[in-house]
Amino acid sequence: IYMWTHTSTHCVCVCVCVCVCVCVLPRATNVSLSSATVVGRHVRSSYKHLQGDVRRRKLFSYQKFFLRIGKDGNVNGTKREDDPYSILEIKSVDVGVVAIRGLSSNHYLAIKKSGDLYGAREFGPDCRLIERIEENRYNTYASAEWRTKKNKCMFVGLNPRGKPLKGKKTRRKSRATHFLPMVVQPR
Ligand SMILES: *[C@@H]1O[C@H](CO)[C@@H](O)[C@H](O)[C@H]1NC(C)=O
Ligand SMILES: *[C@@H]1O[C@H](CO)[C@@H](O)[C@H](O)[C@H]1NC(C)=O
């Protein structure tokens, strides 16, 4: 507070200057965006809120199949929009790593060491998938556990007929590995 006073024969002038600084921190943004904690090569700083958060989604492939996990643990694609086996629960289990469970089959989307795609009854290392948003805004899901002999990632992929692809034949840039997580509307 700075105070200035001036007195003359008839008047008294008082000037008071008060400077108040208010700092408003921006509120944490609500990143309810489709998902991943990893965008391109950049890891989002605020990933904690995603841990333990379960998202109910369908994974819609670039080639227009819904990924489905059957009750016997088979994984493939379906064009049917009302297939209950395509409703999935995506949960973060680690930074950038998710578990994807079929709601009706109760099996987890998994990739074997050999690269085979399947539905696992129990959650295990095969079920840890690295979720990443690619440049075209589609997501890829790569095994967090297994890589090829040439140290390449193995991805969840469906071929243009909706059949599962061997992990060894998948590539990040391939459309067969690109999925859009779609929010499942409650009925
Ligand atoms: C984030 O957004 C979602 C949907 O827009 C909302 O349901 C949720 O309450 C929000 N969370 C916070 C912490 O604001
Ligand atoms: C996916 O598997 C189910 C169950 O085995 C089968 O009925 C369906 O035809 C398969 N879809 C494709 C595209 O192969």
- Give the whole-angstrom CA distance, residue 164 versus residue 183: 23
Whether the Cβ atoms of residue 43 and residue 134 lie closer than 8 Å to each other: no
Spacing, Cα 31 to ligand 1 middle (Å): 8
Query: Which of 61, 63, 76, 104, when mutated, tests ligand 2's pocket best, judged by the most ligand atoms within 8 Å of its CB?
Result: 76
Please report the pLDDT score of residue 109 as a whole number: 98
Q: Using the mean position of ligand 2's atoms as its centre, give its distance from the Cα of residue 75 in Å.
A: 8
pTM, full prediction: 0.69
Q: Which residues line ligand 1 (CB under 6 A)?
A: 30, 32
Cα of 102 vs centre of ligand 2, distance in Å, is 15
pLDDT at site 30: 46
* Cβ of 159 less than 6 Å from ligand 2: no
What pLDDT does residue 24 have?
Answer: 53
Dist. CA 158 → ligand 2 center (Å): 12
Distance CA 187, CA 1 (A): 62
Residues 6+ apart with CB under 8 A from 127: 99, 100, 108, 109, 110, 120
* Ligand 2 near 74 CB (within 6 A): yes
**Cα distance between residue 187 and residue 178, in whole Å:** 27
Query: Atom of ligand 1 at shortest distance to CA of 30?
Result: 1
Task: Report the pLDDT value the prediction gives residue 108, as an integer from 0 to 100.
Answer: 97
By the 10 Å C-beta count (0-12 exposed, 13-18 middle, 19+ buried), 126 is classed as buried
45-183 maps to CATH 3.40.50.720: no
Residues of the chain with pLDDT under 50: 30-37, 39, 42-50
Looking at the CA of residue 49, tell me the nearest atom of ligand 1.
Answer: 13
Q: What are the pLDDT digits (tens) for 31-54? A: 444 444 454 554 444 444 445 688
